[in-house]
Amino acid sequence: MLPRDMFLNGLKPTLHIAHRGGALLAPENTLEAFQRAVHTHRTDMLELDVHLSRDGEVIVAHDDTLERCTDGEGPLAALTLAELRKLDAGHRFTPDEGRTFPFRGQGVRLPTLREVLRAFPALRLNVELKPDVPGAEAVLARLLTEEGALGRVCLGSEQDVIAERLYEKLPDACHFYPRDALAAFVLALKAGEAPPEDARYSVLDMPLYFGEVRLVDDVLLKAAAERGKWINVWTVDDPAEMDRLIQEGIGGIMTDRPDLLRQRMDAPGKPG
């Protein structure tokens, strides 16, 4: 069985997906956030982002700079893993608009992807490669192969050029649609046309809204199902929208509030 098929095999709507581990509950993209999502909120999948350190380690982080989430400064890629280990990844997190910083000074660090894979050896991951650095896809591919994780990871990038390089490096793995390919799929349906066929991508990771327009509708759900595509929507923190998506049978919901999503999914009478 190909890694792509292994990733999709047995998936049933609606998946509980912790976006960056649940970025409104704990410092995003850290083991602390991931552990809470998995052990407390029983998440089905973790969504995370990766960069390369100066010495070529795959680091879990969203931004290419350090200021927003750590006590460091400057580009993440300018530091080695050893230097990144010294940063406080809980320094900036506040649940109450700056009144308190409960994770500051508590030893929260930027994790490597290898650490996350080993911490959750049976869990599916949605992994976005962030930097447009030729060769980064080879480093990521080698890591996933070494860890035997290709069957439980769906890969991709918002940028089409990065997504294409990832596919070229790992053609049998599961890949999600990048921005332009996703837009072509959705806009064709909105225009009443058949979407372009693209066998490279199996998963539509997409926003629920574009401006005021709700992108998920019966037409999209039907078209995706007919083509064997899976849909995950981001980032949904409103309980009413969660309820509606669950009723619609959406594939997965990415949320910064895995606590609320778990409550909605466990509510009496809820499908999934």
- Residue 40: which CATH number? 3.20.20.190
3-state secondary structure of 261: helix
Secondary element (H or E) of residue 187? helix 179-190
Relative orientation angle of helices 160-169 and 136-146, to the nearest 10 degrees: 40
Q: In terms of DSSP H, where are the helices of the chain?
A: 3-8, 31-35, 81-85, 113-119, 136-146, 160-169, 179-190, 218-226, 239-248, 258-266
Enclosing domain of residue 53: 3-266
Q: Is residue 103 in some structural domain?
A: yes
Question: Using one digit for the tens of pLDDT, what is the confidence trace for 204-241?
Answer: 999 999 999 999 999 999 999 999 999 999 999 999 99
- Structural domain includes residue 271: no
Classify residue 168 as left (phi > 0), alpha (psi -120 to 50) or beta.
alpha
Give me the number of domains the chain comprises.
1
Average pLDDT of the residues in 134-162:
97
In the prediction, which pLDDT does 94 show? 98
Whether residue 182 has pLDDT greater than 90? yes
pLDDT at 1 over 90: no
Q: What is the mean pLDDT of residues 127-131?
A: 97
Q: Quick one: angle between helices 160-169 and 179-190, nearest 10? A: 110
CB 257 within 8 A of CB 237: yes
Q: What is the mean pLDDT of residues 129-141?
A: 96
User: Residue 270: its pLDDT value, please?
Assistant: 61
Q: Does 272 fall in a domain?
A: no
Residue 16 in domain: yes
- Examine residue 221 and state whether it is found in any structural domain, yes or no: yes
Residue 272 has pLDDT above 60, yes or no: no
φ, ψ at 154 (rounded to 5°): -105, 125
- Integer CA distances (angstroms), 187 to 131, 231, 249, in order: 27, 15, 21
Q: What is the pLDDT of residue 92?
A: 98
Q: Residue 64: pLDDT above 60? A: yes
Q: Is residue 152 part of a domain?
A: yes
Task: Read off the pLDDT of residues 244-271 as tens digits, 9 standing for 90 and up.
Answer: 999 999 999 999 999 999 999 998 876 5
What number is the average pLDDT over the span 111-118? 98
Other CB atoms within 10 Å distance of the CB of residue 207: 16
Distance CA 52, CA 221 (A): 35
Q: What does the pLDDT average to over 167-191?
A: 97
CA dist., res. 157 & res. 159, Å (int): 5
Residue 254 counted as domain residue: yes
What is the value of pTM for the model shown? 0.96
pLDDT tens for each residue of 39-61: 999 999 999 999 999 999 999 99
